Amino acid sequence: LVEASLDRIQKVDGQVGAFLMVDEEGVRQRARALDEQGVADDVLSAIPMGMKDNISTTGVATTAGSRILGDYTPVYNATVMEKLNGVGANMVGKMNMDEFAMGSSNENSGFHPVRNPWDLKRVPGGSSGGSAAAVASGQVTFALGSDTGGSIRQPASYCGVVGLKPTYGRVSRYGLIAFASSLDQIGPLTRNVEDAAAVLQTIAGYDPKDSTSAKVDVPNYLASLTGEIRGLKVAVPKEMMGAGIDAGVKQRVQEALKLMERLGATVEEVSLPHAEYAVATYYLLAPAEASSNLARYDGVRYGIRVEGENLIDMFHRTRSTGFGAEVKRRIMLGTYALSSGYYDAYYRKAQQVRTLIRQDFEAIFEKYDVVVGPTAPTTAFALGEKTDDPLTMYLNDICTIPVNLAGLPAISLPCGLVDGLPVGLQIIGKAFDEQGVLRVAHAYE
Ligand code: GLN
C-alpha cells in the first residue's frame, strides 16, 4: 500500500502540489514494522494517509503553510495523530494548505499553490486544498483537514471527495495550530462516506488536553450507515439556493433532493433569516481570534528570526518577513476590531449575531432532521481568478460559514458534475449528530 502511494505521488504530485513533505523514510519504516508485527485489527491499520500541515507531528516538520515557522519540528503529536498511530494508520506526509488555514483556494500557501486534479488550471479549494487534492488524485486513501469556515467541505466539494466537519468539541484540537479557536475543528477527507465514518470513529472523543472538547459519548458510526432514510425531514434554506448560487450547482442539488424524496424523505423550504450576516460576522470573529493566536510568532519561540536593532525591531522584521499578505490582512482586521473603543461595536456585536445564527438553526432542528444545500456557490474557479479581490474570495464561503458559527456537524459529498467539474452537496446536522449526517450522506451516496 505504501509503495503504491509513493508511486502515485512520484507520478502526479509534481503537477498537483498536494504535499509539503513526503516522509518516505518514516512511512516505509512503519510499513515494515506492520509487516513484521502483523496488521492490527482495525480498518485503518496500515492505510496510507496525509496530515494537513497545521496538525502537529512529533519529529516531522509542521509549517501550517507558513514561512514564519521555518523548520519548526514539534516535540509532541496532536491528539488526532496519536489516535491514528494507535490504530496503525500510516502517515505518508504533510499536506499543503493556505497559510495558517486562511483562504479558500490554496493560493495563500507560503510555499506553492495546489492544483485541482480535475483541471490543473483550477484551484482545489482551501484551506485544506492539499488534503482534498491528494485524496482525489489517489495519492493517499484519506487525509485530515481543518475547518474554520469551510476549509474541509469546500475543497472536498471542488475536488469531488467527501469532507466532514464534526461538531465543535467532537474532535480534540490539541496539537492543531490555532487559527480561530472558537471555530476550528479537525475532520477527515475521504473518497466515500464509509471511510469518513471510520476515520471519525478513530479521531472523535473527549480529550482532557483540549478544554473545549466535549464529554459526549461516541456512537458506532459505521453501524449507523443503514441506507435507510424513510421519514427523514429535510430542510432546505432558501438563502442557500438563492441569488449568488450558480444555476448548474442549484440544479445538481435539486436532483439530489429529488433522490432523497424517492428514498422516502420529505423536503421543505425553510429560512435562515440571519444567514446574510454570517460572512460579515465570521470576518470579524475569525481575524480577531487569529490576531491573538498569531501573536506568538515573534521570532523568540518558534521558527524564523530576523535580527533587528532592538527587540521591537526584531519582532517587526520577523513578522514582516515571515507572514504572507493574507495573514497580515487578517491580523490588521482583527487587531482593529479588538482595539479599545471598537470592541463593543465590532467583536461584541459579532458575537451577538453569532448567537442569532445559532438560534436560526436551533429553530429549524426543532422540526427537521437535517439541513441540505450546496457546499459552495460554484464549482472550482481558475487559479488567479479571485486573488486580487479578497471580498469575492470571502463570499465563496457563504454556505459553509454559518455552520461553523453555529458549531454544527456537516458533510460535503459529490453530487454530480457541472461542465465536467464536481459539485458538493452539504448535509448539516444537529450538534453531535454526526451519526445522522453520515447516515443521510451514505443513503444518498
Ligand atoms: N476560507 C475561510 C477563511 O479564509 C475559511 C478557512 C478555514 O476554514 N480554515 O477564513
- Name the pairing type of β-strands 421-428 and 370-374: antiparallel
pLDDT confidence tier of residue 337, bands split at 50, 70 and 90: very high
Distance from the alpha carbon of residue 281 to the mean position of ligand 1, in angstroms:
13
Contact 47, 138 (CB under 8 A): no
Report whether pLDDT(141) > 90.
yes
Q: Report residue 40 as a C-alpha cell.
A: 492490527
b/e per residue 72-94 (b: at least 16 CB within 10 A): bebeebbbbbbbbeebbbbbbbb
Predicted local distance difference test score (pLDDT) of residue 206 = 98
Predicted local distance difference test score (pLDDT) of residue 243 = 86
pLDDT 10s digits, 203-245: 999 999 999 999 999 999 999 999 999 999 999 999 999 988 9
Assigned fold of 2-224: Amidase signature (AS) enzymes (3.90.1300)
Which atom of ligand 1 lies nearest, measured to the CA of 282?
A: 10
Q: Give me the percent of the chain exceeding a pLDDT of 70.
A: 100
Predicted local distance difference test score (pLDDT) of residue 131 = 98
ipTM surpasses cut 0.95 = yes
pLDDT: which is higher, 341 or 52: 52
Pocket test of ligand 1: the residue of 54, 96, 98 to mutate, having most ligand atoms within 8 Å of its CB, is 98
pLDDT 10s digits, 165-192: 999 999 999 999 999 999 999 999 999 9
Predicted local distance difference test score (pLDDT) of residue 392 = 85
Measured distance CA(359)–CA(364) in Å, rounded: 9
Among 56, 105, 109, 127, the active-site one is 127
pLDDT 10s digits, 156-165: 999 999 999 9
pLDDT confidence tier of residue 260, bands split at 50, 70 and 90: very high
Predicted local distance difference test score (pLDDT) of residue 162 = 99
For the chain, the domains span: 2-224
Which atom of ligand 1 lies nearest, measured to the CA of 330?
A: 10
Report whether pLDDT(340) > 90.
no
Contact 200, 166 (CB under 8 A): yes
Pocket test of ligand 1: the residue of 102, 185, 285, 404 to mutate, having most ligand atoms within 8 Å of its CB, is 102
Phi, psi of 5 (to 5 degrees): -65, -45
Mean pLDDT lowest among 266-270, 386-390, 436-440: 386-390
Predicted local distance difference test score (pLDDT) of residue 391 = 85
Predicted local distance difference test score (pLDDT) of residue 183 = 98
Report whether pLDDT(390) > 90.
no
Whether cis (ω within 30° of 0) applies to the bond prior to 172 is no
Distance from the alpha carbon of residue 221 to the mean position of ligand 1, in angstroms:
27
Q: Report residue 218 as a C-alpha cell.
A: 461516541
- 83 catalytic? Reply is no
Measuring CA to CA, which residue among 68, 62, 60 is closest to residue 304?
68
Average pLDDT, whole number, for the chain? 97
* Averaged pLDDT, 316-343: 96
Q: Report residue 281 as a C-alpha cell.
A: 460576522
* Averaged pLDDT, 303-329: 97
Distance from the alpha carbon of residue 296 to the mean position of ligand 1, in angstroms:
20
Predicted local distance difference test score (pLDDT) of residue 90 = 97
pTM score: 0.98
Report whether pLDDT(419) > 90.
yes
Helix (H) / strand (E) containing 414: strand 410-418
- Name the pairing type of β-strands 233-237 and 370-374: parallel
Predicted local distance difference test score (pLDDT) of residue 40 = 73
Distance from the alpha carbon of residue 46 to the mean position of ligand 1, in angstroms:
31
